[in-house]
Amino acid sequence: MRDVAVIGVGMQKWGELWEKSARDIFVESALLAMNDAGVDTLESMYVGCMTPGLFDAQEHFGSLMADYLGQKHIPSTRVESACASGGLAFRLACMDVASGMHDVVLAGGVEKMTDISGSDATHALATAADLKWEGVSGVTFPGLYAMIAVAHMAKYGTTREQLAAVAVKNHDNGSMNSRAQFPTKVTIDGVINSVKVADPLNILDCSPITDGAAAAIVVPADMVKKFNKPGVKVIGTGHATDTIALHDREDMTTLAAVSEAADQAYKMSGKGPKDIDFSEVHDCFTIAEIVVSESLGLFERGKGGPAALAGETAIGGSTPINPSGGLKSKGHPVGATGVAQIVEITEQLRGEGGDRQVKNARVGLAQNMGGSGGSSVVHILEVM
């Protein structure tokens, strides 16, 4: 198999993009990535999108996006793994190039979530849970992650202040990100006193409903010089699944799919948790970042909360997490999130993080997750 590198990334500002369609925002990001890479022709593309039929009343997204991007006749595949759709699209693009099938491949992600009512959006997202056993009882994702939070608090003594510290840190980072949906700083008291959603989680513990897209161009690593662009090498990738329903898991305080996907990526890359300079992880809720950080091996189990409160996960801390602002501040258009993580990792490794730049960043990890951990994708990238 061939080594793979990212040579171009693109992403526009995320938010409530009322004046644009899903195809508009996808094409904008794809063109930004192609321009960044210096290419005008693709050989293949993968489009992460969770549920366009429910959000956008449109299926057949692979063909549609290739058409509107002006790349007719190339193989174009829509990829779905709930909120991990974008990360999986990137993995498949890397596998395509690694196999030797194609040389210039676009990995993209998109979701247009605001064109339906709040209740319809809640239903669309709930299809990533086990509808037969969880959805039928009226449990949506805030409730599921609240259960995880309660279990984690009971087992490890995780506190409400530690959960809030995740939101504070990510909004601090997002305040320096011009593409973030909510680039507004918050306080621990503000998070704790915000509107209750599902005890112990409040509105400021939850990622928002978002419109957005992101894209990356991958090529064989040995062809990077041909494009005369700085390349970032993909040195590890992993993908795993778990039971979707929480009641079928042995332990709700950890995420087995995250650990398994990380183990695969660590083994492939020859790296371990201590070699990771910074991470972009799936903080759909504040408790998610804490549990993911432990499941990745960045912290011992039960230590993720204290680490967040102590500032260890801040940009200047020992283990920076989500310098982009994460899903919490940057936004969470579910099909695009995993690719946006690759955008941030790539820009950080190229030294383009601006005020958010992680010092001496040479190895970055991206972790994208579907539902309440029913699937997870992990990638490790390194400066070439």
Dihedral (CA of 54, 56, 60, 66) sign: negative
Q: Is the dihedral of CA 373, 374, 380, 381 positive or negative?
A: negative
Inside any domain, residue 80 = yes
The whole-angstrom separation of Cα 12 and Cα 78 is 21
Q: Is 108:214 a contact under the CB 8 Å cutoff?
A: yes
Q: Is residue 280 in some structural domain?
A: yes
Whether 123 maps to a domain, the answer reads: no
DSSP letter for 71, please.
Answer: -
3-state secondary structure of 54: helix
The whole-number pLDDT of residue 154 equals 98
d(CA 62, CA 92) in angstroms, rounded, equals 14
CATH number for position 282: 3.40.47.10
Which pair of structure tokens corresponds to residue 307? 């680490």
List, for residues 179-224, the tens digit of each pLDDT value.
Answer: 999 999 999 999 999 999 999 999 999 999 999 999 999 999 999 9
Q: Note whether residue 362 is domain-resident.
A: yes
Residue 42 and residue 115: Cα distance in Å, rounded? 30
Confidence (pLDDT) at 362: 98
Cβ atoms within 10 Å, residue 320: 24
For 229, the token pair is: 């662009």
Q: Which residues have CB under 8 Å from 246's CB, separation 6+?
A: 134, 144, 147, 148, 252, 372
pTM assigned to the model? 0.98
Q: Do 312 and 326 fall into the same domain?
A: yes
Would you state the pLDDT for residue 68? 97
Task: Identify the three-state secondary structure at position 320.
Answer: coil
186 in the same domain as 82: no
Instruction: List strands edge to edge, sheet with 375-383.
Output: 76-79, 44-48, 105-112, 211-220, 4-11, 232-241, 375-383, 363-370, 278-280
Strand, coil or helix: 146: helix
pLDDT value at residue 320: 98
d(CA 365, CA 379): 6
Q: Are residues 250 and 150 in the same domain?
A: yes
Tell me which H or E stretch contains 91.
helix 85-99
pLDDT of residue 275: 98
202 shares its domain with 342: yes
Low-confidence ranges of the chain (pLDDT < 50): none
Model pLDDT, residue 178: 97
Domain assignment present for 122 = no
**Can you tell me whether residue 339 is helix, strand or coil?**
helix
How far does Cα 287 stand from its chain's mean position? 15
- The range of the structural domain enclosing residue 111 comes to 4-117+210-232
Within-domain flag for 190: yes
Neighbours of 100 (CB within 10 A): 10
Report which of 9, 14, 26 is spatially closest to residue 330, judged by C-alpha positions. Answer: 14
- One domain for residues 173 and 296: yes
- Domain co-membership, 201 together with 88: no
Work out the percent of the chain whose per-residue pLDDT is above 70.
Answer: 100
Sign of the C-alpha dihedral, residues 180, 356, 87, 37?
positive
In a domain, 90, yes or no: yes
Domain shared by 221 and 243, yes or no: no
Same domain flag for 11 and 133: no
**Would you say residue 301 lies in a domain?**
yes
- Which of 37, 22, 210 shows the shortest CA–CA distance to 121? 210
Torsions phi, psi for 108 (to 5 deg):
-130, 165
Beta bridge partners, 201, equal 198
Q: What is the pLDDT of residue 344?
A: 98
For the annotated catalytic residues, the residue numbers are 83, 332
76 and 181 share a domain?
no
- Pair 43, 87 in one domain: yes
Q: What is the 3-state secondary structure (H, E, C) of 187-253?
A: CHHHHHCCCEEECCEEHHHECCCCEEEEEEEEEEHHHHHHHCCCCEEEEEEEEEECCCCHHHCCCCC
Counting the structural domains of the chain, the total is 2
225 and 243 share one domain: no
Are residue 85 and residue 177 in the same domain, yes or no? no
CB atoms within 10 A of CB 295: 26
Q: pLDDT, tens digit, for every residue of 40-56? A: 999 999 999 999 999 99
The packing angle between helices 286-295 and 141-156, to 10°, is 60
d(CA 294, CA 317) in angstroms, rounded, equals 16
